[in-house]
Structure 1
Amino acid sequence: MIKKRAVYTVLALILAPFVGHAVTLPPLESNPTESMGVLIDTLSTSCAPLPTSLDDFSRAQLHDFYQPLAGALAWPNEATRVMLLEQVNQLADDGLSPTDYPIPSMPLDASPRLRACIDILTTHSYLQALHDLHYGRLSQQKLESVWRSSDMPVRPSAKVTIMPVAIANLSEPGLAFKAVRPSLVQYQQLRSAYAALRSRPLQSWQPIAAGPTLHPGQSDPRVPALRTRLNAEGYNTALTSGSVQTDTRFDPGTVAALRAFQARHGINDDGVLGTATLTELNVSPLTRREQLKVNLERLRWLADDLTQAQVAVNVAGAEVMLMQNGVDLWRKRTQVGRAERKTPLLVSRINRITLNPTWTVPPTILREDKLPAIRSDIGYLDKHQMNVYNHQGQRLNPHDIDWSKPGAIMLRQEAGVNNPLGRVVLRFDNPFSVYLHDTPSQRLFDRSPRVFSSGCVRVEAIQTLLTKILDADQMRTVQARLDSGKTSQYRLDQQLNLVMAYWTVEVDANGIIHYYPDMYDNDQKIITAQLLDK
């Protein structure tokens, strides 16, 4: 109780400017509803200083909020204000800063005009907190732009989702916060993990020096530091404290601990200390904690889409999953785009399947990869079963083409076991010419990180995926067409909602945190934006 009272005292001191300008308030009009509207319209002079977040959009929200109250105050008693303050403080567990939503203190002798002013400012913080908790505080499109198919529903506005909840739960604001907080299981588990992590002192570990790739059974002077690092995060190396500091052999216990670390950090758990593993080991405890905060913001952006998705791709984790009500039921590895040819983030619908596909080389790959290879050796076309076409679909003789200036041509690789698309392509509307597809490069699924494509998503065990999205009769039809070897299109009776997104942290049902390499360096952009938001 003493601690809570101290928090309120400090908060009152911080927010004192909100309550120190009663003399500037104009007289209230005789019509209470009209007077509240006038006060909202004159906030910049009547209730200064104002938070920078109180813009024209916020004023419009305040008008909408107070209209059904017919001039009454939203926060007439201290009890509900205390409950609101408790909910705002709990936003720290969501990775939001409670100080961004100040609740002004109410002097005991406040005049009616001052009470109205403070009530409006309190309501603004209330609505802003609910909005940021539901939609995210930062702009998704500015930081991690997502393309959306025109036939996919967009998130309803705050007027639809926030305002009715805010007004209906004024006497118990906790219910409003519960209603707008993302119910996505992934979000709830991540929030619990972040709350536990931020309540503890930051761990400390020293970076491990660079060096040659270290295989099990070898000796290396860095092994004691590796053991210390793994033990610091709870990966038991099974050696006594003395051996931890002196034994330079990469022993089985340390190998097992490293494999456990790799499995939780999106790295192939081969027990080998290579560049990718070393990079993840040397991420600081503070950055790890910030990663959780970043991904809470991401999941606020993605919550509605992931809840409605039937197929989702985590680009950072290089995984595809089948979803139902926001819960993944099945997942497999994928290969995604290299940093210079990133897999785009999008929301669309899988509407058809190409069986035994041919591959028309996309313009970027034609320009940057294929033309240099053909100029070096025109036999490249025969070796890769490629034919040349004009844009009217007429096949051309490659020896009649000036490959230094080939003009408007297309390269097409015929269907077959060596086709880069394998035997199956899942297609969906998008402007990037990307799709989910099979691949003959199965061995690359065992590499890490799995960034090998030019933007498309190569799916492991794609025929298993087909058996899960098609019923038995559909699958028999598809299998017969596959067996024919002929290229054909199979249209889905029911299209599948697809989300291709990017997140670098997940928490499983047991509370275990799993990290994925930030392959496109997106986390730092959001961390920087969060710092600049202060």
Structure 2
Amino acid sequence: MQSVLAQLSSDCPGLAAQLDAPAQLRLQAFYRQQNELPVWSASGRLSALRAQLQLLADDGLDPSRYPLPLDTGADNGLCTDIEISRQYLQALQDLHFGRLQQARFEPLWQAQPPTRDVDAEVLTLAATGLKDMARAFDQARPNTELYRSLRRAYAAQRQQPLADWPVIAAGPLLRPGMEDARIPALAQRMLAEGYLDSLPAGPEKTYGEALADAVMHFQSRHSLQADGVIGPGTLTELNISPTLRREQLRINLERFRWLAPDLEPDGVLVNVAAAQLSVYHDGAPVWQTRLQVGRADRQTPLLKSRVTRMTLNPTWTVPPTIMREDKLPALRLNPTYLSQQNLQVLDSEGHPLAADAIDWERPGNILLRQEAGPRNPLGKIVLRFPNPYSVYLHDTPSQPLFAKGPRAFSSGCVRVEQVLHLRDLLLSPTERGKTDELLASGTTREFRLAAPVPILLGYWTVQVGSDGALLYAPDIYGHDPVLLKALGARVQVLSAAQAEYKAQ
């Protein structure tokens, strides 16, 4: 086989045109594993591969991307064998690592860049498959519950006819108890997706209690404020088409293929889209809490790092973006803004400056700092982890915002509800006691963790909840349509999805 691979351009010109140098080297390594012999003439092996390729549809991958010749007995049998191997290796790679490159679509910064040998892992899976094809493909799939549960849900959904629900017209804010011409369509919408068992009794255009309960259930399943009020956010989620809802499952399977290598059995996992944090122990979530994440114009970055220290009773030095876009405009309008916000002016080395000596139109290289206290935007604790974005997890005095949804309010950092409980889960009892003492002192102190804790900030817009139901999150940063297009949705599906997002 090596002689054929070495002169593909002459022996197999059609195949050679489709192979780049890395793919050719991987094929050479694959055939070296098999003592330079053809591999697909063995009885039953090719049919087993065909069966596994068809099952990729349940993973949200298109089996037609891995076309196989009908037989291996043609005149160009060696070329055919190589072509089958090419598709085999590519399918395993796409299933294991993702069909798209994460770095191109949703880059994830890593404090310790991975050292994975993609070819070595694929070749190991491929060797297994020649003995047990089903086992190799199952090993290639991410072995995380996030992935496996969503795959089961997608496999079931794609076999069912698409639901059909009406579009709810735009209009004024709709609250329970109100009358509105859109109520019949809203009731049909809730009925179509199973949030109602039957249409409510009573006046047709009245927003009654049963329908409000159904809407609140819908809102809780879509990371919205579950108050029954139909505003722009809820209306947007209601009007996402059944086709796009199904496609959401497929694109998030791709995201979980990307994230799987970075998931650790113990640590902190943040879903930025849902503004939710989970603490994992032995591979299972043991606690969840709500977050506030960055607005669309100041997005929370995706990253993997380790929580190494906590700042207790933190001061807050205003970051450059907030200084430029928020604080300086406010100061120019209101000379008393500094005292109202308890802000101190410092030079670049941290020395105090007199505020009335600053030209606020051209302030130069200054800092604004807020001392520790109940009004400090960082609250009582900051959890810090190395990253180039100057983001961190922190407490906040803005507690009422946790009841909202979606919760994209910050300038990039992540505000944590029940931050003291998160601290308790990350520290030993001795460390918890020490931090309690330091917090009680009221002074700003740094506390280094004895055992750094892995943290992963990812982005996904649907997952399966603990009760088996699908939990959606608004696509707050508009990533879904881009990923949908890249994965190759049908043209009519894609254009419908784009139209929906453009209209929002």
TM-score when scaled to structure 1?
Answer: 0.89
How many angstroms does 1:532 deviate by?
A: 7.9
Q: 1:237, 1:254 within 8 Å by CA — same for their partners in 2? A: no
Alignment-derived partner of residue 21 in structure 2: 56
Matched residue of 1:213: which SS? coil
1:172 aligned onto 2:137: no
Alignment-derived partner of residue 488 in structure 2: 531
Alignment-derived partner of residue 114 in structure 2: 154
Alignment-derived partner of residue 432 in structure 1: 389
1:342 aligned onto 2:299: yes
Matched residue of 1:369: which SS? helix
Deviation digits for residues 17-37 of structure 1 (CA, Å, limit 9, x no counterpart): xxxxxxxxxxxxxxxxxxx11
Alignment-derived partner of residue 103 in structure 2: 141
Alignment-derived partner of residue 398 in structure 1: 355
The verdict on how the C-alpha distance between 1:270 and 1:400 changes in structure 2, with shifts beyond 3 A counting, is same
Alignment equivalent of 1:371, drawn from 328, 337, 358 = 328
Identity of aligned residues (%): 45
Matched residue of 1:202: which SS? coil
Matches within 5 A, 1:104-115: 104-106=69-71, 108=73, 110-111=74-75, 114-115=76-77
Q: Give the distance between the partners of 1:60 and 1:533, measured in 2 at CA.
A: 33
How many angstroms does 1:70 deviate by?
A: 1.8
How many angstroms does 1:124 deviate by?
A: 0.7
Alignment-derived partner of residue 502 in structure 2: none
Q: Which amino acid aligns with 2:476?
A: M
Matches within 5 A, 1:30-429: 36-50=1-15, 54-106=19-71, 108=73, 110-111=74-75, 114-149=76-111, 152=112, 154=114, 156-236=116-196, 238-239=198-199, 243=201, 247-308=204-265, 310-429=267-386
How many angstroms does 1:204 deviate by?
A: 1.2
Q: 1:337, 1:453 within 8 Å by CA — same for their partners in 2? A: yes
Deviates more, 1:293-302 or 1:401-410: 401-410
The verdict on how the C-alpha distance between 1:379 and 1:328 changes in structure 2, with shifts beyond 3 A counting, is same
Q: Give the distance between the partners of 1:183 and 1:212, measured in 2 at CA.
A: 46
How many angstroms does 1:236 deviate by?
A: 1.2
How many angstroms does 1:215 deviate by?
A: 1.2
Q: Give the distance between the partners of 1:40 and 1:46, measured in 2 at CA.
A: 8
The verdict on how the C-alpha distance between 1:138 and 1:325 changes in structure 2, with shifts beyond 3 A counting, is farther
The verdict on how the C-alpha distance between 1:308 and 1:142 changes in structure 2, with shifts beyond 3 A counting, is farther
Matched residue of 2:287: which SS? strand
Q: 1:434, 1:456 within 8 Å by CA — same for their partners in 2? A: yes
Q: Give the distance between the partners of 2:266 and 2:427, measured in 1 at CA.
A: 16
The verdict on how the C-alpha distance between 1:53 and 1:252 changes in structure 2, with shifts beyond 3 A counting, is farther
Deviation digits for residues 492-528 of structure 1 (CA, Å, limit 9, x no counterpart): 0110111011000011244311110000000111011
Q: Give the distance between the partners of 1:117 and 1:73, measured in 2 at CA.
A: 10
Q: Which amino acid aligns with 2:116?
A: P
Q: 2:309, 2:447 within 8 Å by CA — same for their partners in 1? A: yes
Matched residue of 2:185: which SS? helix
Deviation digits for residues 361-390 of structure 1 (CA, Å, limit 9, x no counterpart): 001111111111111222111111111111
Deviation digits for residues 121-179 of structure 1 (CA, Å, limit 9, x no counterpart): 11111110000001000010110111111xx3515122332212211330321111111
Matched residue of 2:172: which SS? coil
Q: 2:191, 2:199 within 8 Å by CA — same for their partners in 1? A: no
Matched residue of 2:314: which SS? coil
Q: 1:184, 1:307 within 8 Å by CA — same for their partners in 2? A: no
Alignment equivalent of 2:473, drawn from 494, 510, 516 = 516
How many angstroms does 1:274 deviate by?
A: 1.5
Q: Which amino acid aligns with 2:44?
A: A
Q: 2:222, 2:474 within 8 Å by CA — same for their partners in 1? A: yes
Q: Which amino acid aligns with 2:316?
A: W
Matched residue of 1:307: which SS? coil
Deviates more, 1:386-395 or 1:122-131: 386-395
Deviation digits for residues 461-499 of structure 1 (CA, Å, limit 9, x no counterpart): 100111111122111110111011000000001101110
Q: Give the distance between the partners of 1:420 and 1:230, measured in 2 at CA.
A: 39
Q: Which amino acid aligns with 2:3?
A: V
Q: Give the distance between the partners of 1:125 and 1:413, measured in 2 at CA.
A: 59
How many angstroms does 1:51 deviate by?
A: 8.5
Deviates more, 1:87-96 or 1:396-405: 396-405
Alignment-derived partner of residue 497 in structure 2: none
The verdict on how the C-alpha distance between 1:94 and 1:336 changes in structure 2, with shifts beyond 3 A counting, is same
Deviates more, 1:62-71 or 1:276-285: 62-71
Q: Give the distance between the partners of 2:376 and 2:124, measured in 1 at CA.
A: 54
Alignment-derived partner of residue 429 in structure 2: 472
The verdict on how the C-alpha distance between 1:93 and 1:532 changes in structure 2, with shifts beyond 3 A counting, is closer
How many angstroms does 1:530 deviate by?
A: 1.2
User: Is there any run of 5+ residues in structure 1 with no aligned partner, and where?
Assistant: 1-35
Q: Give the distance between the partners of 1:155 and 1:356, measured in 2 at CA.
A: 38
Deviation digits for residues 298-319 of structure 1 (CA, Å, limit 9, x no counterpart): 0000002123550011000001
Q: 1:308, 1:497 within 8 Å by CA — same for their partners in 2? A: no
How many angstroms does 1:189 deviate by?
A: 0.2
Alignment-derived partner of residue 496 in structure 2: none
Q: Which amino acid aligns with 1:83?
A: A
Q: Which amino acid aligns with 1:62?
A: L
1:448 aligned onto 2:409: no
Runs of 4+ in 1 over 6 A off after TM superposition: none
Deviation digits for residues 407-459 of structure 1 (CA, Å, limit 9, x no counterpart): 11111100000000001000011111110000000011111211110000000
TM-score when scaled to structure 2?
Answer: 0.94
Deviation digits for residues 13-64 of structure 1 (CA, Å, limit 9, x no counterpart): xxxxxxxxxxxxxxxxxxxxxxx11212333442242387632111010011
Q: Give the distance between the partners of 1:306 and 1:272, measured in 2 at CA.
A: 36
Q: Give the distance between the partners of 2:43 and 2:115, measured in 1 at CA.
A: 35
Q: Give the distance between the partners of 1:119 and 1:37, measured in 2 at CA.
A: 12
Between Structure 1 and Structure 2, how many residues are aligned?
491
Matched residue of 2:218: which SS? helix
Q: 2:191, 2:198 within 8 Å by CA — same for their partners in 1? A: no
